[in-house]
Amino acid sequence: MIINHPLLGPRDSSEFVYLGDASLIARPDWQADNAAEAFYDYAYLRDNPAGEHRELWFHEGGDRSWLVVTRNTVTHEITDVEMARDVARAQGRSK
Amino acid sequence: MHDLVAITALGGSEPRVDTVGNVTCTEVPAVALASVAARADRAAEARKALAKLTGASIPEVGQFAGDNVLAFWTGPDQWMIEAPFDTHEDLAQQTKNCVGDTASVSEQTDAWTRFDLEGADVPAVLELLCILDCRKMEPGQTARTSIHHLGCFVLCQSAISFSLYGPRSSAGSLRHAIVAAMKSAL
């Protein structure tokens, strides 16, 4: 499997480490009134789709950047690769 | 006054040199290193400041640039600065003075060890060592990769001359891997 790194081009998947669902970027506000409920959801509840899935990969054997990879869990086809920091900033995070 | 003798990463008083066939692997201890990571939204300012330090434009993705003081790309908005140890022992401080609050600087001198590979068949050795397509690398290109399960930087000086940076604490393992690859390939 090849992951098309946005900066470095096509790289073998053996250079990468998988973390999990890209929704992990959206860490809840710990000071919110419903923080306990939100963290329960954040930590334990995941969708398990047979199809398109956005997930976090770490380029450990490369430039050590985090990526958001859109992968089809049925066919393993990768349709999109973004820098996780760009995704996070677009969501208003990592200020 | 203490009278301590400096030793290299491999423990010798002189840099270790290994030759197999036409390829020579030389330990290079006399370099000072500092890593620079631009702070959020300050990358343009950090690049400008660093350019004054290296006297060259700050390298883009996968490149290195500079002569006496050299910068190589290590990640998005991150660079490693390399300079001769004799004249730049306080490289991290010099770099910090230069970039101010546009970037964070870490001393890296004793975190890494450098090996220079030279000889006509260096690409054949690197083929065994790492996953990079080193035959396609141009002079001035750099990449981070795994060698012997160690995260290393590979700098292409020319088609037959490469520099490798690996973790200093694993210098012996890295040298073992390089020499084993040299013996296998040549």
Assess whether the region B17-29+111-185 and the region B31-109 belong to the same CATH fold. no
Please tell me the predicted confidence (pLDDT) of residue A95: 58
Asked if residue A29 belongs to a domain, the reply is yes
CA distance B67 to chain A (A): 23
Nearest CA in chain A to B151: A61
What type of residue sits at position B39? R
Compare CB distances from B144 to A14, A63, A85 and report the shortest one's residue. Answer: A63
B30-89 pLDDT per residue, tens: 999 999 999 989 999 999 999 999 999 999 999 999 999 999 999 999 999 999 999 999
CA distance B4 to chain A (A): 37
Please tell me the predicted confidence (pLDDT) of residue B34: 97
Chain A, 8 to 37: residues with Cβ < 8 Å from chain B are: 8, 12, 14-15
Q: What is the CATH number of the domain that holds A15?
A: 3.30.2270.10
* Cα gap A45→A52, rounded to integer Å: 18
pLDDT at residue B112 is higher than 90? yes
What percent of chain A is predicted at pLDDT more than 90?
A: 89
Q: Which domain holds residue A8?
A: 2-90
Run of H or E including B157? strand B150-158
B137-165 pLDDT per residue, tens: 999 999 999 999 999 999 999 999 999 99
What's the gap between Cα A61 and its chain centre?
17
Domain count, chain A: 1
Asked if residue A25 belongs to a domain, the reply is yes
Q: Locate A35 and state its tokens.
A: 């923080």
pLDDT at residue A68 is higher than 90? yes
- Global pTM? 0.91
Interchain proximity A63–B75, CB inside 8 Å? yes
Interchain proximity A15–B146, CB inside 8 Å? yes
Across the A:B interface, residue pairs with CB atoms under 8 Å apart total 34
Please tell me the predicted confidence (pLDDT) of residue B98: 95
Asked if residue A14 belongs to a domain, the reply is yes
Classify domain B31-109 at the CATH topology level.
Alpha-Beta Plaits (3.30.70)
Please tell me the predicted confidence (pLDDT) of residue A82: 97
What is the b/e burial string over B129-165, where b = at least 16 CB atoms within 10 angstroms of the residue's CB? bbbbebeebeeebbbbbbbbebbbbbbbbeeeebbbb
Q: Indicate the average pLDDT of chain B.
A: 95
Compare CB distances from A61 to B61, B62, B145 and report the shortest one's residue. Answer: B145
Options 3.40.190.10, 3.30.1360.120, 3.40.50.2300, 1.20.1630.10; CATH for B17-29+111-185 is 3.30.1360.120
DSSP-based three-state secondary structure for B130: coil
A80 touching B, CB under 8 A? no
Residue A50 is classified by DSSP as S
pLDDT at residue A5 is higher than 80? yes
Q: Domain extents for chain B?
A: 17-29+111-185, 31-109
Compare CB distances from A7 to B76, B146, B151 and report the shortest one's residue. Answer: B76
Asked if residue A95 belongs to a domain, the reply is no
pLDDT band at B3 (very low <50, low <70, confident <90, very high): confident
Please tell me the predicted confidence (pLDDT) of residue A84: 95
